[in-house]
A and B are shown apart, each in its own frame.
Chain A
Amino acid sequence: MVRVSELVSKESPVSSPSDAAPQYVITAENLTKRYGDVTAVDGISFRVPAGEAFGLLGPNGAGKSTTMKMIGGVSQRTSGSLSIMGLDPEQHGPEVRAHLGVVPQQDNLDEELKVRDNLLVYGRYFGLPMSYLRRKADELLEFAQLTDKANAKVDALSGGMKRRLTIARSLINEPRILLLDEPTTGLDPQARHILWDRLFRLKEQGVTLILTTHYMDEAEQLCDRLIVVDKGKIMAEGSPASLIRDYSTREVLELRFGSDRNASVGAELEGIGERLETLPDRVLIYAHDGEAALEQVTARGLRPVTSLVRRSSLEDVFLRLTGRSLVD
């Protein structure tokens, strides 16, 4: 751990005698980014200790990708401060990125090169020697389950394979911090689960994961802690479980009365559960006990077309915080 403690942010409490004190690899204070009149990121502050899986959850346009770009030093902040491994990414771009692995929202694999050559060439960009890269590339192909595609052209790969190759590529320099921007968007469920499994293994090795997503299940699966972002601001911060506990009830009863009835039935449901949310396609009743709430609904003589009791999710947290759904 010697090297890590040398490299962590100055703001981190390394002077503390306790071994348990967190060492922050990312410290953002009042981070702001404006494009002309548009404020994409509006004064957000957060700290990420080494080894944590940290999520930015929010809808499209919330400022997640912009934040990721600022961390990577490929976008300059308008104001605020940012420290990655104790370095300002604007002043030390190449040096900061030497510690990072980046999985951008859209795959930008080198289509002119074969699968394995993509890994080798990318490693050369970090100044790594070929003797190391040949061995590492083979390990990473194994890790990404692409060994039999080593000499294939990139455009012959499926979407899930390309994504795995992009992740493998981001690991070529053994990064301390892995930035994943919407890692599973556009993948089928099986490909997502393979990817999640790979990310879990990285986390187990102590790699710090920074992840943006608009999928609540992804955030719940992968993140130790997350911030909910909307319109460039942090709406809430905490672990998935604590956010659900703080901002939602244990269970949710989803009722569908048909699209013309959903809005008008609200008044008749008054008093059931702790809170009521009317959406265009369904009514949500937040309650500690969903089944009991459903009994109350039927006792009032209401006959929903469908009903479903489920546990609260981050989707509900987001709905509560912003009044809108995550996926439009």
Chain B
Amino acid sequence: MSVLTGSFNAGDHSVTDAARRRRFGPMYSRNVRAVVARGLMATKSSNWMVMVSGFFEPVLYLISMGVGLGAIVGSVQGPGGQEISYAAYIAPALLAVSAMNGAVYDSTWNVFFKMNFAKLYQGMLYTSLGPLDVAMGEIFLALLRGFLYATGFTAVMGVMGLITTPWAILMIPASVLIAFGFASFGMGVTSFMKTFQQMDWINFVMLPMFLFSATFYPLSVYPQYIQWLIQAMPLWHGVELLRQISVGVFTPATAVHVGYYLVMIALGVTLTTGRLRRLFLT
């Protein structure tokens, strides 16, 4: 049937009518997959180089610090008290950092551009998508990327002989959990940003977090109050969680680390959805 000959009876428009008869919420139309499909289609044509470079960054750190610096440091004490190589000590930490970086890049710079320049969300929210569909779709894309990085990095660890227990495979879903926390929160924070200068503040927070969250040496080197500060930061929980998993040592602290991220995700999704609603639907 041509667009030029439509008449409004139910038979001719069964497909579009069916789409209108779905159940809708005020914020959500159960259609996250459409946002995800759009992201994949766009990535296919443009973002390849950025994605690949994001994978190599932690690998290069692992080789330079783990192998190079590791030759001087020798072996260190792992989470269970056992002796492990310095490379095996920092590898899970770098994996946590890569999960954070991938998620934050996707949910901040990418989102900032789509929000302020491409007007992408404005277009999406003029369809039957709700803000929750958009937020969840964008966060899912960040997670997909975090998942790919984590899988690749875990494989590199395996090749370098840094994996000693089957538990280590759980580092992949744990990395996705870490990425989820950062992506959901990052997108919410980005919604407050108006200029590129403000976006630089994100790097200003991320870099110290990367350097000081017990990534390259244990937390015990710090005085007590600095330890508390770092333990309040999300990356430390990610580093500790992955480090425990990498050697298969689990303690009550493991549950605290996981719980920290679950709370972060809940807050982040609520914040992001609320902000999208405020920005585009008021």
Chain A residues proximal to chain B, CB less than 8 Å: 1-4, 72-76, 90-95, 97-100, 102, 104, 106, 108-114, 117, 121-122, 124-129, 132, 136, 139-140, 142-143, 171, 173-174, 176, 201, 205-206
Contact = CB atoms under 8 A, between A and B. Distances in A.
Interface stretch (B11-19, B61-69, B261-269): B11-19
A113 B41 contact: yes
Contacts of A125: 31, 34-35, 38, 124, 127-129
Contact of A92 (B16, B26, B118, B280): B26
Interface in B24-58: 24-31, 33-35, 37-38, 41-42, 45-46
Interface residues of B, number: 48
Contacts of B129: 94, 125
Given A95-B24, A125-B34, A110 B125 contact: no
Contacts of A142: 3
A92 B26 CA distance: 5
Contacts of B9: 1-3
B42 A113 contact: yes
B282 A97 contact: no
Interface of B: 2-10, 13, 15-17, 19-20, 22, 24-31, 33-35, 37-38, 41-42, 45-46, 118-120, 122-130, 280-282
A316 B13 CA distance: 43
B24 A128 contact: no
18 contacts: A3-B13, A4-B8, A75-B282, A92-B24, A94-B29, A98-B19, A98-B128, A108-B120, A111-B118, A112-B42, A117-B41, A125-B35, A125-B128, A132-B16, A136-B3, A143-B3, A173-B16, A205-B5
Given A91-B26, A124-B34, A124-B37, A98 B4 contact: no
A108 B124 CA distance: 10
Contacts of B282: 75-76
A323 B24 CA distance: 47
Given A74-B125, A95-B20, A127-B22, 16 more contacts: A1-B8, A3-B9, A76-B282, A94-B25, A94-B29, A97-B126, A104-B123, A108-B118, A126-B128, A127-B34, A128-B15, A128-B16, A136-B3, A139-B2, A140-B3, A206-B6
Contacts of B22: 98, 127
Contacts of B29: 94, 127
Nearest to B15: A132
A39 to B, nearest CB: 16
A173 B22 CA distance: 14
A92 B29 CA distance: 10
Contacts of B13: 3, 174
Would you list the 8 A-B pairs with minimal beta carbon distance, nearest first?
A125-B127, A124-B34, A112-B42, A108-B119, A98-B128, A95-B24, A94-B29, A174-B16
Contact of B7 (A100, A136, A205): A205
A127 B120 contact: no
A108 B30 CA distance: 23
Most buried by B among A93, A95, A125, A206: A125
Given A102-B126, A173-B16, A110 B38 contact: yes
B11 to A, nearest CB: 10
B168 to A, nearest CB: 36
B37 A121 contact: yes
